A = this chain, B = another copy of it.
Amino acid sequence: MLVQKYKDMLGNKSVIRTLSEFAAARGKEIGYENVFDYSLGNPSVPVPGEFTEAMIRLLQEKDSAELHGYSPSLGIYSVREKIAESLKSRFGLPYKAEHIFPTSGAAGAIAHAVRCVSEPGDEILTFAPYFPEYGPYVNLTGAELKVVPADREKFQINFEVFCQMISEKTAAVLINTPNNPSGAVYSEETLKKLAEVLWEKSKEYGQKIYLISDEPYREIIFGGIKAPYVAKYYADTLTCYSFSKSLSLPGERIGYVAVNPACGEAETIVQMCAQISRGIGHNCPSSIIQLAVAETIELTSDLSVYETNMNILHRELTDLGFVCTRPGGTFYIFPKALEEDAVAFCNKALQYDLVLVPGDGFGCPGFFRMAYCIDTEKVERSLPALRKFVESEYR
């Protein structure tokens, strides 16, 4: 018999996906360049030329059986070494290859991390607003995702409610900074306080509570500031990374789990990931992609366009009277809608060819997300539409 729980999921179509499909369909009518599509978080800037060159060089120069052969079940060692060295030099933690497990993006990394530390019946806590895919990532393991309501002012952590919700059932806490959808970067203060709570509660319950840190936007930080590196503040941290955004490679499915060297049994956790992989049929990212990413590990795409777009949008939104926390990173902004029902608000916006995503799916009703990973020229062209929308509907 076909398994009902997966069949049941078929009805629940992703809101983001539906809006993106609307944008594509509307684009066929009026030209996609005239649809102000802020729905999807697909990087808009090209990969660094060095990545393409590395790929071509590998294809031309390396023995094909070796290049395309099985990678070891823990990933290609030299790749793991380069990732570890890069993390060590950038963030000062003594990572070694043995702490790194390459995965198919951050999705794969989270899937492995959750399976390492939780059993069916356990709870994983996350903080709104949160990436909606955390639902299936966690719930399909048999553990349960519990969402701590948002700090609706600054999108840091609502510690009061968090401390009420954490319990002996909490296997791990899953955070995302810089945050999709709010663009907020957790401050050092937030991370220190979070670590304190986790230490205290781990001690109280006599069992470790792990921190799973989802960091695909780590390299997209605005204002020249340095975002605090999460694992520095809490030993039992499993960092989940993706090169999707930093190198504009979302389709190539490449990322990793990095287990903090200070975490108990850190190397064992990495080896457990390889066992988990056997069960989920993952078996390493593509070998050529692993090798090419290792060669360009210190590079990023030209990410400056995202900051340019953010500045334009933040200024305009504020001008128009939106309550809008200034993003510290990512390519998202998360203003408060101009009416309580953000779904109604976003539906009205569609009439102005503005494709905005209501915050409801991110666990934060009343807000909406704009993904500004689009050309600056289009952001600028969208401003009159945004103004017209606000003035016609809300003045």
Tell me if A103 is interfacial: C-beta within 8 Å of chain B. Answer: yes
Contact segment of A135-143, A186-194, A384-392: A135-143
Copies of the protein in its oligomer: 2
Which of B1, B71, B105 makes the CB contact (< 8 A) with A207? B1
Contact segment of A30-38, A86-94, A244-252: A244-252
Which of B280, B282, B286 makes the CB contact (< 8 A) with A251? B286
Residues of B within 8 A of A252 (CB): 68, 286-288
Interface size for A (C-beta < 8 A) is: 78
Residues of B within 8 A of A64 (CB): 46-47, 52, 248
Please measure, in the bound complex, the distance between the C-alpha atom of A64 and the C-alpha atom of B46, giving whole angstroms: 6
**Given A6-B115, A275-B9, A171 and B1 touching (CB < 8 A)?**
yes
Residues of B within 8 A of A280 (CB): 111, 140, 280-282
Please measure, in the bound complex, the distance between the C-alpha atom of A2 and the C-alpha atom of B254, giving whole angstroms: 25
Which of B67, B73, B111, B278 makes the CB contact (< 8 A) with A281? B111
Report A1-29 residues with CB < 8 Å from chain B CB. Answer: 1-3, 6-7, 9-10, 17
Tell me if A59 is interfacial: C-beta within 8 Å of chain B. Answer: yes
Tell me if A117 is interfacial: C-beta within 8 Å of chain B. Answer: yes
**Are A279 and B137 closer than 8 Å at their CB atoms?**
yes
Please measure, in the bound complex, the distance between the C-alpha atom of A171 and the C-alpha atom of B254, giving whole angstroms: 34
**Are A2 and B269 closer than 8 Å at their CB atoms?**
yes
Tell me if A208 is interfacial: C-beta within 8 Å of chain B. Answer: yes
**Are B281 and A109 closer than 8 Å at their CB atoms?**
yes
Residues of B within 8 A of A70 (CB): 40, 42, 250-251
Which of B272, B283, B284 makes the CB contact (< 8 A) with A2? B272
Please measure, in the bound complex, the distance between the C-alpha atom of A234 and the C-alpha atom of B232, giving whole angstroms: 56
Tell me if A110 is interfacial: C-beta within 8 Å of chain B. Answer: yes
**In the complex, the 6 A-B pairs of residues with the closest C-beta atoms, listed nearest first:** A140-B279, A111-B281, A251-B287, A108-B281, A136-B278, A280-B280
Given contacts A65-B248, A69-B250, 7 further A-B contacts (CB under 8 A): A10-B272, A43-B69, A46-B63, A47-B64, A68-B249, A108-B282, A252-B286
